[in-house]
Structures are given as structure tokens and as C-alpha cells.
Structure 1
Amino acid sequence: MADKITLDQLAGMIQTQFDEVGKQFDEVNKKFTEVNSHLGKVESNMLTKDYLDDKLADLRGDLVVLTRKEDNKVKKLINILRKRDLISDDEVKEIMSMEPFAQLFV
């Protein structure tokens, strides 16, 4: 005849299983806490679109300033060449009408 299990024995077996499941949940919660902490660090170091837009706008502005300085040097050189009659007025107009900062002559 089969051994009969008492209610106390059954309760003990169920409690053992619940204890094991509880330990597993504790470990899962610990892992979630670690992942959440790591995610917070990643988010704090992540660049935002607004930040990148601002930096690109700053860079574009810096490039325009540098290009303008170079354009001023070219203008000065053209004036020197024209004063020395090394280039004609038409050549001056042609050069000055070129990009990036074209000047229109009317």
C-alpha cells in the first residue's frame, strides 16, 4: 500500500518550493536593479539630438567665419593684382562673382 502524505508534509513540500521560487525572484530583482542602474549611466552619457544640433550649428558658424576671413584675403589679393595691372576689371568682376560670397557688379 502506498504511503499517505499528511497535510503537514504536503505543506512542508509546498513551502520548500515557494522558498526556491522566492530565491529566484530575489535574483531576478537583483539583475533588474543592476540593469536599471547601468541603463541610467548610459542615458546620462548619451548625446541628445538638441545637443548635436547646437554643436553642428556652432561648427557651421565657425566655418562661415573662417571662410569669410579667407574671402577677405582673396579680395585683398585681387585688389593688389588689379592695382599692379596684372588682371583686368573684367577678370576682377569674374573672380568676385564666384562663390561662396559672390559680389554682384551692376
Structure 2
Amino acid sequence: MTVAGQEGTATGNAQTSFTALGNESVTVPAGTFDALKIQVDTALNMNVTYQSLSVPVAFTTSYTYWFTQGVGWVKNSGTGSAAGTSFSETTELQSYSIP
């Protein structure tokens, strides 16, 4: 990687698993859909070195996504943690138009 003209490196590993949980009805501002529900879990552990400073970086996330035929993504909701800080978020389709 290059930041402000300075070289750095990042080495480590990432693991992601995808699990189809089946179909379910999901309601978002854009409407109610019969959607495929998918669970995605990710863990990243790496070491970043920049300007002779080496820092371990780790984060985990667990997200659920809903996809529907003809529209695609309609919702995701998840949690995670990075550097000792936890977070959560939900994003929903507000509207759509199919030409």
C-alpha cells in the first residue's frame, strides 16, 4: 500500500462464510418482499506496517442480507467489532423502479 507517497505492508488472513438461511417475508420502506436470507460472517486478522511502525488489526462482522428476485438487495443488518469498538447497522431499500 502507498499512503502520501510512503510504502507500507499489510499481511494476515481473512475468513468469510456464507450461509443461505431460506426464504422469508421482509418488509422495508420500499415494500414487502419474499426474500432469500443469507448470513455472512467475516473475521480479519492482519499486521500493518507503515513507517517502521507495526500495528495488529483485527475485526469481525456478522451480517444478514435479504435478496429478492427481480429487485436484488432489499435489506442488510449486522454487527461487528474492530479495535475494541462494537458497531451495528441496518440498511433498507427505500424505493425502486424497474423500467
TM-score, normalisation: structure 1: 0.18
Higher helix proportion? 1
Q: Work out which of the two has the higher radius of gyration on C-alpha atoms and give 1 or 2.
A: 1
The structure where strand makes up a greater share of residues is 2
Give the TM-score normalised by the residue count of structure 2. 0.19
